[in-house]
Amino acid sequence: MTSTSARATPGAGTAADEVGARFVQLDVTDDASVAAALATIDADHGRLDVLVHNAGVLGDGDVDGATALTVFDTNAVGVVRVTEAALPLLRRSPHANVVTVSSSAGSFWAVTNPERVEHSLPTLLYSASKAAATMLTVRYAQTEPGIRFNAIEPGTTATDMTAAYGIGRPPQETAEFVVRWATLGPDGPTGTLQDEAGELPW
């Protein structure tokens, strides 16, 4: 399994060692980093069974062009950059899964519904970039029918990104949901946005 991140997480190598995995650094905003990571996976395994797009930045604070470019480069363009590099390896897998960790904050249905918390979230750039990430996932599902592509809303999780808000459940609980979709069987859905209650309108 390869999980994409904007930059290396402190202790990631140690965590990989503890579960018998190999840590491969990958910066989704850097073409050379992406190419090097996928070349390492190709040399070691010759295929890729699961790809999880988990890179994300909030982009809170002042809204300007530079911030928008950073948010979209990480949250949306990174999906394209990594997927395109990974497709040759994913096509070699008998049952490949691609999971985009998206957000209900990028759902048009949710943000236009006054009864939903997303309606009042001050996440202009994050919401727009996650809407793009979901659209990319759905379109990849259509163009690559031999690979399952799904976007998921993992639930509010206590991470560095949400630390200022003091909200979110333990990452381990969210990870269980992500793993469920990463290990989806060959008859599972593709081209959807899902939360833990089922398919989410977007």
The residue assigned the tokens 């840590």 is 23
Q: What pLDDT was estimated at residue 1?
A: 45
Cα–Cα dist 187/44, whole Å: 28
Cα–Cα dist 192/19, whole Å: 30
Over residues 26-72, the pLDDT tens digits come to: 999 999 999 999 999 999 999 999 999 999 998 888 999 999 999 99
DSSP 152: E
Our answer to whether residue 140 is catalytic in this structure is no
Query: 3-state DSSP call for residue 110?
Result: helix
Q: What pLDDT was estimated at residue 121?
A: 86
Q: What pLDDT was estimated at residue 52?
A: 96
Residue of 126, 140, 149, 181 with catalytic role: 126
The pTM score is 0.86
Residue of 53, 81, 130, 148 with catalytic role: 130
Average pLDDT, the chain: 87
Spatial CB neighbours of 144, under 8 Å, sequence gap ≥ 6: 87, 90, 91
Our answer to whether residue 130 is catalytic in this structure is yes
**Of all helices (H) and strands (E), which one includes residue 43?**
helix 31-45
